[in-house]
Amino acid sequence: MSENNIVLFPIKAPNPEPESLSDNEIDILIDSISSNVITNFQEMGYDLSHSNKQIGMIVEAIRSLAYSLNNKEHPFQEFSDHYFDEKTPGVLTIKASVATLKVSE
């Protein structure tokens, strides 16, 4: 305590530099996060048995983020750059119609 009876809390330490993950560690991370997302929907009573494409999109978006954070490329990085706009910092908008989506072969 200080002289004025004020409790001085420790200042939060800065976040450490993230570790670079191996491909196997990235896969384990993606499995864990994806499983949690799917489990949360199921626990809320949603039937996901006909949602394979949407679940695939979520899993690949998570994979893209993990790859990006580990300085690796993933096709969804180009997808998100093309289809999302951030005119206002922190606010994403879809900038292209889904009808214009082209899947490269």
Task: For residue range 38-82, list pLDDT tens digits in order.
Answer: 999 999 999 999 999 999 999 999 999 999 999 999 999 988 888
Q: What is the pTM of this model?
A: 0.70
Place of tokens 């490329």: 73
Tokens of 103: 């899947």
Burial label, 99 (beta-carbon count in 10 A; 0-12, 13-18, 19+)? exposed
Of 27 and 3, more confident: 27
Amino acid code (one letter) for 88? T
